[in-house]
A and B are shown apart, each in its own frame.
Chain A
Amino acid sequence: GVVGGACADVTQRVYEVEKYQKRNKLMEILQDESEGTIVFVDTKRGADFLASLLSETEYPTTSIHGSRLQRQRETALADFKAGRMKVLIATSVAARGLDIRNVKHVVNYDMPSCIDEYVHRIGRTGRVGNSGKASSFFDPQRDAAIAGDLVKILEGAEQEVPQFLKRFSCAGGGG
Protein backbone atom coordinates (compact mmCIF):
# COMPACT_ATOMS: atom_id res chain seq x y z
CA GLY A 1 0.00 0.00 0.00
CA VAL A 2 0.93 3.64 0.21
CA VAL A 3 3.67 4.16 2.76
CA GLY A 4 2.16 7.29 4.25
CA GLY A 5 -1.33 5.89 4.28
CA ALA A 6 -0.97 3.95 7.49
CA CYS A 7 -0.16 7.09 9.42
CA ALA A 8 -3.31 9.08 8.79
CA ASP A 9 -4.55 8.61 12.38
CA VAL A 10 -1.30 9.82 13.84
CA THR A 11 -0.62 13.47 14.55
CA GLN A 12 2.98 13.94 13.52
CA ARG A 13 5.06 16.84 14.78
CA VAL A 14 8.64 17.54 13.86
CA TYR A 15 10.72 19.94 15.95
CA GLU A 16 14.07 21.37 15.04
CA VAL A 17 16.21 20.50 18.07
CA GLU A 18 19.96 20.48 18.42
CA LYS A 19 21.60 17.48 20.03
CA TYR A 20 22.09 18.86 23.51
CA GLN A 21 18.72 20.63 23.64
CA LYS A 22 16.86 17.36 23.21
CA ARG A 23 16.64 16.58 26.90
CA ASN A 24 14.92 19.88 27.70
CA LYS A 25 12.59 19.46 24.77
CA LEU A 26 11.64 15.98 25.94
CA MET A 27 10.89 17.27 29.44
CA GLU A 28 8.73 19.99 27.94
CA ILE A 29 6.79 17.52 25.80
CA LEU A 30 6.29 15.05 28.64
CA GLN A 31 4.83 17.77 30.83
CA ASP A 32 1.67 17.75 28.70
CA GLU A 33 1.27 14.03 29.00
CA SER A 34 3.81 11.39 29.90
CA GLU A 35 1.93 8.14 30.35
CA GLY A 36 2.26 5.70 27.47
CA THR A 37 5.21 7.40 25.81
CA ILE A 38 7.92 5.43 24.04
CA VAL A 39 11.13 7.32 23.31
CA PHE A 40 13.53 6.05 20.64
CA VAL A 41 17.23 6.79 21.11
CA ASP A 42 20.47 5.71 19.38
CA THR A 43 22.68 4.20 22.05
CA LYS A 44 22.33 1.75 24.90
CA ARG A 45 24.13 4.00 27.33
CA GLY A 46 22.05 6.98 26.28
CA ALA A 47 18.90 4.95 26.90
CA ASP A 48 19.88 4.02 30.45
CA PHE A 49 21.16 7.52 31.24
CA LEU A 50 17.92 9.10 30.13
CA ALA A 51 15.80 6.48 31.90
CA SER A 52 17.69 7.13 35.13
CA LEU A 53 17.30 10.91 34.85
CA LEU A 54 13.59 10.74 34.12
CA SER A 55 12.99 8.21 36.87
CA GLU A 56 14.78 10.34 39.44
CA THR A 57 13.21 13.61 38.49
CA GLU A 58 9.66 13.11 37.27
CA TYR A 59 8.40 9.94 35.67
CA PRO A 60 8.90 6.25 36.39
CA THR A 61 10.78 5.17 33.28
CA THR A 62 12.22 1.89 32.05
CA SER A 63 14.47 0.97 29.14
CA ILE A 64 15.01 -1.67 26.48
CA HIS A 65 18.20 -2.15 24.46
CA GLY A 66 20.48 -4.70 22.86
CA SER A 67 22.28 -5.74 26.03
CA ARG A 68 19.07 -6.84 27.69
CA LEU A 69 18.04 -10.46 27.83
CA GLN A 70 14.80 -11.31 26.08
CA ARG A 71 13.16 -11.91 29.45
CA GLN A 72 14.24 -8.46 30.66
CA ARG A 73 12.84 -6.80 27.55
CA GLU A 74 9.52 -8.51 28.10
CA THR A 75 9.46 -7.47 31.76
CA ALA A 76 10.18 -3.86 30.87
CA LEU A 77 7.48 -3.92 28.23
CA ALA A 78 4.97 -5.46 30.65
CA ASP A 79 5.75 -2.75 33.23
CA PHE A 80 5.17 -0.13 30.55
CA LYS A 81 1.93 -1.64 29.31
CA ALA A 82 0.55 -2.00 32.82
CA GLY A 83 1.31 1.64 33.55
CA ARG A 84 3.81 0.88 36.32
CA MET A 85 6.28 2.65 34.07
CA LYS A 86 4.97 5.73 32.32
CA VAL A 87 7.80 6.07 29.84
CA LEU A 88 9.80 3.48 27.91
CA ILE A 89 13.17 4.39 26.38
CA ALA A 90 14.21 2.03 23.59
CA THR A 91 16.85 1.59 20.93
CA SER A 92 15.21 0.64 17.64
CA VAL A 93 16.95 -2.67 17.21
CA ALA A 94 15.84 -3.87 20.62
CA ALA A 95 12.26 -2.77 20.04
CA ARG A 96 12.00 -4.96 16.95
CA GLY A 97 10.07 -8.15 17.42
CA LEU A 98 8.41 -6.86 20.55
CA ASP A 99 4.67 -6.41 20.63
CA ILE A 100 4.55 -2.68 21.25
CA ARG A 101 1.23 -1.35 19.98
CA ASN A 102 -1.38 1.19 20.95
CA VAL A 103 1.24 3.47 22.39
CA LYS A 104 -0.14 6.93 23.11
CA HIS A 105 2.90 8.84 22.02
CA VAL A 106 6.04 7.95 20.08
CA VAL A 107 9.00 10.31 20.46
CA ASN A 108 11.90 10.11 18.02
CA TYR A 109 14.51 11.61 20.32
CA ASP A 110 17.09 10.50 17.80
CA MET A 111 15.69 10.33 14.27
CA PRO A 112 16.10 7.04 12.45
CA SER A 113 18.43 7.17 9.47
CA CYS A 114 15.89 5.75 7.03
CA ILE A 115 12.30 6.67 6.42
CA ASP A 116 10.99 3.10 6.57
CA GLU A 117 12.14 2.94 10.16
CA TYR A 118 10.32 6.22 10.85
CA VAL A 119 7.09 4.83 9.41
CA HIS A 120 7.55 1.62 11.37
CA ARG A 121 8.06 3.49 14.64
CA ILE A 122 5.09 5.80 14.31
CA GLY A 123 2.98 2.81 13.27
CA ARG A 124 3.13 1.78 16.90
CA THR A 125 0.75 4.54 17.90
CA GLY A 126 -2.80 5.37 16.83
CA ARG A 127 -4.35 1.98 16.24
CA VAL A 128 -7.97 0.87 16.11
CA GLY A 129 -9.69 4.19 15.88
CA ASN A 130 -7.61 5.89 18.57
CA SER A 131 -5.62 8.82 17.42
CA GLY A 132 -1.94 8.69 18.23
CA LYS A 133 0.86 11.18 18.49
CA ALA A 134 4.39 11.15 17.13
CA SER A 135 6.94 13.82 17.97
CA SER A 136 10.33 13.88 16.30
CA PHE A 137 13.49 15.81 17.09
CA PHE A 138 15.17 16.83 13.87
CA ASP A 139 18.81 17.74 14.42
CA PRO A 140 20.02 19.70 11.36
CA GLN A 141 23.61 18.62 12.05
CA ARG A 142 22.66 15.00 11.78
CA ASP A 143 19.34 14.41 10.06
CA ALA A 144 19.46 16.51 6.88
CA ALA A 145 19.60 13.40 4.69
CA ILE A 146 16.16 12.23 5.75
CA ALA A 147 14.44 15.63 5.33
CA GLY A 148 13.17 15.06 1.78
CA ASP A 149 11.59 11.68 2.56
CA LEU A 150 10.14 13.04 5.76
CA VAL A 151 8.41 15.87 3.92
CA LYS A 152 6.84 13.33 1.54
CA ILE A 153 5.54 11.23 4.41
CA LEU A 154 4.08 14.25 6.21
CA GLU A 155 2.41 15.50 3.05
CA GLY A 156 1.05 12.04 2.26
CA ALA A 157 -0.53 11.89 5.70
CA GLU A 158 -1.88 15.43 5.42
CA GLN A 159 0.27 16.70 8.24
CA GLU A 160 1.68 20.13 8.71
CA VAL A 161 5.17 20.42 7.21
CA PRO A 162 7.33 22.83 9.19
CA GLN A 163 9.20 25.52 7.26
CA PHE A 164 12.67 24.46 8.37
CA LEU A 165 12.06 20.97 7.05
CA LYS A 166 11.13 22.23 3.60
CA ARG A 167 14.33 24.24 3.61
CA PHE A 168 16.47 21.19 4.43
CA SER A 169 14.58 19.05 1.98
CA CYS A 170 15.40 21.46 -0.87
CA ALA A 171 18.99 21.90 0.21
CA GLY A 172 19.41 18.14 0.42
CA GLY A 173 18.47 17.75 -3.25
CA GLY A 174 17.70 14.30 -4.51
CA GLY A 175 20.29 12.88 -2.08
Chain B
Amino acid sequence: MTIDYLNYLEIRDEYPDIDYEIRGILLARAQNGATIDEIRDDYQKLTGVRFPVNENITDFLLTITHVMVFCNENGTRIFNIMPTETTRHLLDLVLNQKTSQQSE
Protein backbone atom coordinates (compact mmCIF):
# COMPACT_ATOMS: atom_id res chain seq x y z
CA MET B 1 0.00 0.00 0.00
CA THR B 2 1.33 3.38 -0.88
CA ILE B 3 -0.05 6.52 0.65
CA ASP B 4 0.10 9.42 -1.68
CA TYR B 5 0.26 12.91 -0.23
CA LEU B 6 -0.90 14.19 -3.62
CA ASN B 7 -4.30 12.53 -3.18
CA TYR B 8 -5.13 15.06 -0.52
CA LEU B 9 -4.02 18.26 -2.21
CA GLU B 10 -7.58 19.49 -2.58
CA ILE B 11 -8.28 18.98 1.09
CA ARG B 12 -5.12 20.88 1.96
CA ASP B 13 -6.02 23.67 -0.44
CA GLU B 14 -9.31 24.15 1.28
CA TYR B 15 -8.08 23.52 4.83
CA PRO B 16 -4.57 24.96 4.85
CA ASP B 17 -4.10 24.52 8.61
CA ILE B 18 -5.35 20.97 8.84
CA ASP B 19 -1.95 19.36 9.45
CA TYR B 20 -1.22 21.75 12.32
CA GLU B 21 -4.70 21.23 13.70
CA ILE B 22 -4.46 17.44 13.66
CA ARG B 23 -1.04 17.53 15.31
CA GLY B 24 -2.46 19.88 17.96
CA ILE B 25 -5.38 17.53 18.61
CA LEU B 26 -3.06 14.56 18.92
CA LEU B 27 -0.66 16.45 21.16
CA ALA B 28 -3.45 17.34 23.57
CA ARG B 29 -4.39 13.63 23.74
CA ALA B 30 -0.87 12.24 23.64
CA GLN B 31 -1.12 10.44 26.99
CA ASN B 32 -3.64 7.90 25.74
CA GLY B 33 -3.58 8.43 22.00
CA ALA B 34 -6.73 9.15 20.01
CA THR B 35 -9.16 7.10 17.93
CA ILE B 36 -10.46 8.36 14.61
CA ASP B 37 -13.80 9.21 16.26
CA GLU B 38 -12.05 11.26 18.92
CA ILE B 39 -10.01 13.09 16.30
CA ARG B 40 -13.12 13.90 14.26
CA ASP B 41 -15.00 14.99 17.35
CA ASP B 42 -12.16 17.21 18.60
CA TYR B 43 -11.76 18.68 15.14
CA GLN B 44 -15.38 19.76 15.02
CA LYS B 45 -15.31 21.13 18.57
CA LEU B 46 -12.07 23.04 18.15
CA THR B 47 -12.53 24.44 14.66
CA GLY B 48 -16.32 24.51 14.24
CA VAL B 49 -15.92 22.73 10.92
CA ARG B 50 -16.83 19.13 10.08
CA PHE B 51 -13.83 16.88 9.62
CA PRO B 52 -13.40 17.08 5.85
CA VAL B 53 -12.22 13.55 5.07
CA ASN B 54 -14.82 10.77 4.97
CA GLU B 55 -12.98 7.84 3.45
CA ASN B 56 -9.57 6.34 4.00
CA ILE B 57 -9.12 8.49 7.06
CA THR B 58 -6.18 6.45 8.30
CA ASP B 59 -4.41 6.97 4.98
CA PHE B 60 -5.04 10.67 5.20
CA LEU B 61 -3.82 10.98 8.79
CA LEU B 62 -0.64 9.12 7.88
CA THR B 63 0.21 11.71 5.24
CA ILE B 64 0.60 14.22 8.06
CA THR B 65 4.19 14.36 9.19
CA HIS B 66 4.97 13.06 12.69
CA VAL B 67 1.63 11.27 12.97
CA MET B 68 1.79 7.58 13.90
CA VAL B 69 -0.71 4.79 14.47
CA PHE B 70 -0.90 1.38 16.10
CA CYS B 71 -3.58 -1.24 16.44
CA ASN B 72 -4.59 -2.00 20.02
CA GLU B 73 -5.71 -5.38 21.42
CA ASN B 74 -9.33 -4.62 20.43
CA GLY B 75 -8.38 -3.92 16.85
CA THR B 76 -8.92 -0.18 17.25
CA ARG B 77 -6.46 2.13 15.57
CA ILE B 78 -4.88 4.52 18.03
CA PHE B 79 -3.15 7.61 16.67
CA ASN B 80 -0.42 9.61 18.30
CA ILE B 81 2.19 12.22 17.59
CA MET B 82 5.98 12.28 17.55
CA PRO B 83 7.76 15.27 19.05
CA THR B 84 8.84 18.01 16.68
CA GLU B 85 11.41 20.67 17.37
CA THR B 86 8.76 23.29 18.03
CA THR B 87 6.38 21.20 20.16
CA ARG B 88 8.70 18.92 22.14
CA HIS B 89 8.32 21.06 25.28
CA LEU B 90 4.52 20.72 25.16
CA LEU B 91 4.58 16.99 24.49
CA ASP B 92 6.89 16.53 27.48
CA LEU B 93 4.37 18.37 29.65
CA VAL B 94 1.40 16.35 28.40
CA LEU B 95 3.12 12.96 28.68
CA ASN B 96 4.21 13.62 32.26
CA GLN B 97 1.09 15.32 33.59
CA LYS B 98 -1.50 13.75 35.91
CA THR B 99 -2.85 10.57 34.41
CA SER B 100 -6.54 11.09 35.18
CA GLN B 101 -8.77 11.00 32.12
CA GLN B 102 -9.41 14.45 30.77
CA SER B 103 -13.07 15.25 31.03
CA GLU B 104 -13.01 18.37 28.94
- List residues of chain A with CB under 8 Å of any chain B CB: 19-20, 42-46, 48-53, 55-57, 60-63, 67-69, 72, 76, 79, 85
Cα distance A51–B100 when bound, in Å?
Answer: 21
What are the interface flags for B75-104 relative to A under an 8 Å C-beta threshold, 1 for contact and 0 otherwise?
000000000101101100110111010101
Not counting A45-B104, A48-B94, A69-B96, a sample of 13 additional A-B residue pairs whose C-beta atoms are within 8 angstroms of each other reads A19-B48, A20-B47, A44-B102, A45-B29, A48-B90, A52-B24, A53-B20, A53-B21, A56-B23, A67-B97, A67-B98, A69-B98, A79-B89
Asked if B27 and A43 sit within 8 Å, CB to CB, the answer is no
What's the tally of chain B residues with a CB closer than 8 Å to chain A?
Answer: 27
Asked if A52 and B23 sit within 8 Å, CB to CB, the answer is yes
Does B61 touch A at the CB level, under 8 Å?
A: no
Q: Chain B: interface secondary structure?
A: helix
Asked if A63 and B24 sit within 8 Å, CB to CB, the answer is no
Cα distance A45–B90 when bound, in Å?
Answer: 12
Q: B14 to nearest A CB, angstroms?
A: 16
CB closest residue in chain B, given A75: B93
19 intermolecular pairs with C-beta atoms under 8 Å apart: A20-B47, A42-B104, A44-B102, A45-B29, A45-B46, A45-B102, A48-B24, A48-B27, A49-B27, A49-B42, A51-B90, A52-B20, A52-B28, A53-B20, A55-B90, A57-B20, A61-B90, A69-B98, A72-B96
Given A44-B104, A53-B24, are A63 and B86 also a contact pair (CB < 8 Å)? no
CB closest residue in chain B, given A43: B104
Cα distance A89–B98 when bound, in Å?
Answer: 18
| Cross-chain contact of A49 among B24, B48, B84 (Cβ < 8 A) | B24
Asked if B98 and A68 sit within 8 Å, CB to CB, the answer is yes
Asked if A55 and B47 sit within 8 Å, CB to CB, the answer is no
Cα distance A76–B90 when bound, in Å?
Answer: 9
Asked if A49 and B90 sit within 8 Å, CB to CB, the answer is no
Asked if B25 and A63 sit within 8 Å, CB to CB, the answer is no
| Cross-chain contact of A45 among B28, B47, B48, B98 (Cβ < 8 A) | B28
CB closest residue in chain B, given A46: B46
Cα distance A48–B89 when bound, in Å?
Answer: 11
Nearest 5 A/B pairs, CB to CB? A20-B48, A52-B24, A48-B28, A49-B24, A43-B104
Q: B46 to nearest A CB, angstroms?
A: 6
Given A68-B98, A69-B97, A72-B97, are A49 and B87 also a contact pair (CB < 8 Å)? no
| Cross-chain contact of A52 among B87, B97, B98, B104 (Cβ < 8 A) | B87
Cα distance A43–B25 when bound, in Å?
Answer: 13
